[in-house]
Amino acid sequence: MSVYTPEQKVKLARYPGRPGTADYIQNLFTDFFEQRGDRQCRDDSSILGGVARFHGRPVTVIGHRKGRTMEEKLRFNFGMPGPEGYRKAQRLMRQAEKFGRPIITFIDTPGAYPGRDAEERGQGEAIAQCLALMSSLTVPVVAVVIGEGGSGGALALGVANRVLMLENAVYSVLSPEGFASILWKDASRSGEACSVMKLTAQDLRSSGVVQAVLKEPEGGAHTDPQAVYRTVDAALRRELAALGRVNKRSLARQRYQLFRSMGQDLHPARGAAV
């Protein structure tokens, strides 16, 4: 059992000093070759992705990028992708499928960007296509929730064979602020929202949304990043080794079943279909 309350974990998960996607890429991979652009209109730098070697083996790595300094945050739009980011992710995933590379994603976003341009260019459609594509891939996909897993913008990189989550990361249907403002018309009740939303790694492990919780150093990931890199590295090695023994069709089927089963036990089939 962790010492932090859900509300404290939300703070830890959002802490700017916490290791982000770029840090994991730099520390866990070699030979990273960044791939940019959606080939339609622009490059969305709030999604960082490319090909790299993981223990010598080429993989496709994709993650949300928040940035640490104010300048970076502005450049990466605080880790809130638009449709171009999700289309870039799709492009990279299709290439991974084509070349038979495993995919590793890092999830860390407050959510997809709620902006005018984003809507104009089909934010909803871009996320929907990500979900559909990921569900059908025949390569191993492992997702790691490293910080903030906010809403559909997080899930868009999260349809994986295995979803891992750092001990103090959070993952939820909406930010606690948004949740409180929708349900209670009062965003200031976000603390209360944190405690009812079951958004911690431990909660999500027990509801079957994530498959493994990765330990963080006492005080949180930012206090000893090297220790966290070692933990995540070991976990990814283990998962990829296990998934490497599964054939292509079974990988897609297993991933489909994982998400097909979400909430299914609450509604047992009763042979209602003809």
Partner 1 sequence: MNLFFTRRGKKENTEPLKAAWEDQITSQSPKTCPACGQASPADQWHKRGQVCPKCGYHAPIGAYYRLSFLLDPGSFQELDRDLLPADPLDFPGYPQKLSDLEQSTGMMEAAVSALGSIEGHRAVFAVLDSSFLMGSMGTAVGEKITRAAETAQRQRLPLIIFAASGGARMQEGILSLMQMAKTAAAIQRFQSARGLYISCLTHPTTGGVTASFASLGDVMLSEPGALIGFAGPRVIEQTIHEKLPAGFQRAEYLLEHGFLDQVVPREQWRSVLGQILSLHEKGGR
Q: Are 84 and 38 in contact (CB under 8 A)?
A: yes
CA-closest candidate to residue 90, choices 60, 59, 66: 60
Strands (E), the chain: 30-34, 47-54, 57-64, 103-109, 141-150, 162-166, 170-172, 212-214
CA distance 176 to 228: 26
| 235: enclosing H helix or E strand | helix 225-244
Answer yes or no: are the C-beta atoms of 195 and 7 closer than 8 Å. yes
133: its two tokens: 């594509």
Residue closer to partner 1 by CB (options 177, 239) is 177
- Give yes or no for residue 206 binding partner 1 (CB under 8 A): no
Q: Which is nearer to partner 1, 29 or 106 (CB)?
A: 106
| DSSP sequence for 79-104 | G---HHHHHHHHHHHHHHHHHT--EE
Q: Least CB distance from residue 53 to partner 1, whole Å? A: 29
- DSSP reduced 3-state for 50: strand
In the complex with partner 1, which residue's Cβ is closer, 103 or 199?
A: 199
The nearest distance, CB 119 to partner 1, in angstroms, is: 5
Nearer to partner 1, 123 or 231 (CB): 123
According to the binding rule CB under 8 A, does residue 267 interact with partner 1? yes
Q: Single out the residue of 121, 139, 157, 167 in contact with partner 1 (rule: CB under 8 A).
A: 121
Say whether residue 204 binds partner 1 (CB under 8 A). Answer: yes
What's the alpha-carbon Rg for the chain, to the nearest Å? Answer: 18
The DSSP call for residue 188 is G
Among positions 49, 79, 158, 220, the unique one binding partner 1 when judged by CB under 8 A: 158
Q: Is 274 helix (H, G, I), strand (E, B) or coil?
A: coil
Chain position carrying tokens 């492992």? 142
One of 131, 212, 227, 246 touching partner 1 (CB under 8 A) = 131
Among 85, 162, 171, 214, binds partner 1 (CB under 8 A): 171
**Closest CB to partner 1 among 128 and 227?**
128
Amino acid at 220: G
Query: Would you count residue 259 as binding partner 1 (CB under 8 A)?
Result: yes
The smaller minimum CB distance to partner 1, of residues 35 and 250, is found at: 250
From 26, 40, 136, 188, residue interacting with partner 1 (rule: CB under 8 A): 136
**Which residues contact partner 1 (rule: CB under 8 A)?**
112-116, 118-125, 127-129, 131-136, 151-152, 155-156, 158-159, 171-174, 179, 182-183, 196-199, 204, 207, 209, 256, 259-260, 262-264, 266-267, 269-270, 272-274
